[in-house]
Amino acid sequence: MSEDRWREELDDLLSGSLDVDRVRGHCKKHELPGEKRGDLWKVFLGVSGKPDSLSGWDEKLNLANQSDIQSACWSECERLLVEWQESERQRIATEMEHVITYYCKARAVSFTSDCGWAELLVPFFSLGLSRHDAYNCFYALLSRYIPQQQSTIQLFRWLLLYHEPELCSFLDTKKLKVEKYLSKWTRGLFVSTCELNVVLTMWDIYFVESNPFLVFFLSLVILINAKETIMEGENSHDELIETISSFPCQLGADDVDDFCSLADYYITRTPQSLKLDFKFLLFGSTPQPTAGPLSDDIFTRFLCFPVSISELISSVNQQTDQVLRYLVVDCRPVEQYTCGHLVGAKNLDPALMLQSPAEFSSFLDNILALREICGEHICCFGSGRSKEDQYLNMVVARLLQHNIKYVSVARGGYSALYTASLEHVGVVIEGLDPKAHAQYGVSAASSMTATTSEDDMSGREATDGAGGTPAKKESLVFRLSSVLRDKSSAVKAKINKWMTEAEREERHVSSSDKASKSSLYRGVKPVFSIDDEDDLDGSGSSSGDEEKHEAINLETWKKRTDVIQTIPCNEISITGSMHPTHLLLTRTHMFVLHDISNRKGWATIRDRQLLTMIVKITSKKKYPDLITFKFGSVSNDGVTSLTGRRRFLIPKAQRVMKVVRDAIMNAVDEDI
């Protein structure tokens, strides 16, 4: 578009005959003409043509702290309008004093020295706006673009932790509180630290983009770009605060475009829940957040940035190109996970941190290796019940301690996911078991928390013994340490009991399993049966490096002529960890193929067994998708000698096992 045509469109906009959104789009590609800046700002702030709010005011400047308002207005005019004539600076300072005084009286609020109102007014008056236009712009700016300071501090720390956990940890260690430098930037949109021409250019982009969260990402860019200076410097605490606070002073007007482009980079790599869920809390906007209204206590309930369930669902369903790709780590016990979980979620039982730290670390490393495939943004997923999610916080803390970027937590956990599945079409829960769901899905406590004693302080009030009055609720840190100190043996016992008693709860996979062909199985007991024997150890483990096993291309193997079916599942080792697996059935064999984490479409052969060597297949009553294969041989007198076993979580196992059973019977027929 030519410059003349561009100016014609601006004239059409200012005359009220052109769509504002269309002009916003053009303004993103063109520099705003300086002579039209004031009028365009009024349009973008939605105050063009509004009446004079101050027309009926008596203009009395008689507030208790009137001298403070006057002093602040004159100080800002002297600093920002240094090249202006003194008489003009004095006139603008007086106009600013009137605007602030009227605002205080009309809104019944008090002026404070750190509110930043005088800073915000100077740019409007520098453009030659009238008093009432400046007031309307000032009012719109405060309500739409200046965040609530306390919430701003907490939210910015989450964003810094999300994108730069190492830097955030360093600042925490040095006790450099966010408010010491951030408040100056956010309360006045950098007016207090930048020259006026820089502010005007920056505000052009601000109003064109119409993104109130831009100040967060501009602040983030400042810190990240100065990371090396901050972390390697030898300044004292106060000197470091002063250095960080002064970073925006180095910006020139020519730097603003690049500055904002860097901010856009981080905006596109931040969960959309920021804009959708936190706008109401920080700016008092009217649109409802995606998962219910938020309150200030959200900042005490989560260790890191919380992502809404609706965003995770959109990511799974790939509803828009803007949605981030998440690697969802389901940090619930395996029995809860198998009763229902978000499609694609990987299970990481936090109890392993206590029961087998080395196994937990290994399994966590395997999950993190999936980021290239599933998405680099990690969302930790819990039950949605605060008592159980103490263990979720342990996993989150572990990731943050290792400076893993892009770590978030699912707000509401599985409870919110299940509720969403009842209300919206397109919410996919994998492995949903309605019978066990009531116990492990939403309504009841998990078996992990059920092992705690009655006087356990984690999640319930205790009595002091002397007067019987409720004791003060302990902090989250104490509760987590209590779990580590006092409950590790209980958690270990729970896992060991679950692993060793699994077979005692097993049942026939179906009533039709004792088919006539089983009589051909040379006296062997029915393949699908109840088993009271202890588990065999060793064969269920997936130990060993991938390099030690033959690697194959999955698609190539699936196309083999002798393949009956390929069954995607997860194999559970004897320590309770899981590995993405494919069971490949041929006419004669069952192959156990483990997915290679860093080679999509490839797997390693972990086991191959003759179908005729499968002497028993069992499942548990409570967890029908947990299937155990036992291998061995049968003597002529019918005595079975077991040589190994492997356990798998197989979605919709009832239907899958029918195919396996038929394959075994056919193999027996051919063997006979």
DSSP count for the chain of H helices, then E strands: 30, 16
179 and 100, same structural domain? Answer: no
Say if residue 103 is in the same domain as residue 154. Answer: no
* In-domain check, residue 517: yes
d(CA 317, CA 297) in angstroms, rounded, equals: 31
Domain with residue 581: its CATH number is: 2.30.29.30
Three-state secondary-structure class, residue 368: helix
Mean pLDDT, residues 604-632: 85
For the packed helices 256-267 and 214-225, what is the interaxial angle rounded to 10 degrees? 100
Query: According to the model, what pLDDT value does residue 111 have?
Result: 94
Q: Which strand (E) or helix (H) includes residue 131?
A: helix 131-145
Is pLDDT above 50 for 536? no
Same structural domain for residues 49 and 107? yes
Enclosing domain of residue 75: 31-144
Per-residue pLDDT, 637: 66
Task: Note whether 51 and 133 are same-domain residues.
Answer: yes
Report the pLDDT value the prediction gives residue 641, as an integer from 0 to 100.
75
Q: Which two tokens stand for residue 227?
A: 């990371």
For 83-124, give the DSSP string: TS-HHHHHHHHHHHHHHHHHHHHHHT----TTS-HHHHHHHH
- Looking at residue 100, what is its pLDDT? 96
Report the chain's mean pLDDT, rounded to a whole number: 78
* Coil vs helix vs strand at 630: strand
- Residue 545: pLDDT above 80? no
Domain total for the chain?
4
Count of beta carbons in the 10 Å neighbourhood of residue 489: 11
Residues 232 and 170: beta-carbon distance below 8 Å? no
Lowest mean pLDDT among 20-24, 271-275, 655-659: 20-24
Tokens of 500: 């060793």
- Work out whether the CA dihedral 279, 282, 288, 289 comes out positive or negative: positive
Distances (CA, A) of 643 to 142, 582, 631: 74, 22, 6
- Which of 144, 160, 183 marks a domain boundary? 144
Q: Which residues lie closer than 8 Å to 221 by C-beta, 6 or more apart?
A: 259, 262, 263, 266
CATH number of the domain that residue 419 is part of: 3.40.250.10
119 and 188 assigned to the same domain: no
345-374: pLDDT as tens digits: 999 888 888 888 888 888 888 888 888 788
The string of pLDDT tens digits covering residues 485-527 is 343 444 344 434 433 444 444 444 443 443 333 443 334 333 4
Same domain assignment for residues 323 and 412: yes
Same domain, 658 and 563: yes
Question: Which tens digit of pLDDT belongs to each residue from 91-104?
Answer: 999 999 999 999 99
pLDDT above 90: residue 388: no
Among 144, 172, 202, the domain boundary falls at: 144
Q: How confident is the model at residue 127 (pLDDT cuts 50, 70, 90)?
A: very high
> What is each CA distance from 70 to 101, 112, 191, 520, 663, in whole angstroms?
10, 12, 18, 101, 89
- 571 within a domain of the structure (yes/no): yes
**How deeply is 467 buried, as exposed, middle or buried, from its count of CB atoms within 10 A (0-12, 13-18, 19+)?**
exposed
Of 213, 216, 47, which Cα lies nearest the Cα of 140? Answer: 47
Query: Which residue from 333, 377, 324, 374 is spatially nearest to 351, judged by alpha carbons?
Result: 333
Cα 666 from chain centroid (whole Å): 49
Give yes or no for a contact between 592 and 608, defined as CB atoms under 8 angstroms apart.
yes
Same domain assignment for residues 179 and 134: no
Same domain, 167 and 35: no
Using a 10 angstrom Cβ sphere, with 0-12 exposed, 13-18 middle and 19 or more buried, the burial of residue 666 is middle
Whether residue 464 lies inside any domain: the answer is: no
pLDDT band of 448, cuts 50, 70, 90 = very low
Question: How many angstroms separate the CA atoms of 379 and 238, rounded?
Answer: 36
- Within-domain flag for 326: yes
Judge whether 497 lies within some domain: no
Q: Is residue 387 part of a domain?
A: yes
Residues 221 and 305 in one domain: no
Domain boundary at 430, 450, 470, which? 450
66 phi, psi to nearest 5 deg: -60, -40
Same domain (yes/no): 212, 243 = yes
Shared domain check, 233 and 347: no
Calculate the CA 319 to chain-centre distance: 18
Residue 478 included in any domain = no
Provide the pairing of β-strand 377-381 with 407-411: parallel
Q: Quick one: how far is CA 240 from the chain centroid?
A: 31
pLDDT of residue 162: 96
pLDDT (0 to 100) of residue 547: 53
Give the ranges where 2-85 is alpha helix by DSSP (H).
3-14, 20-27, 37-44, 66-80
Residue 49 lies in a domain: yes
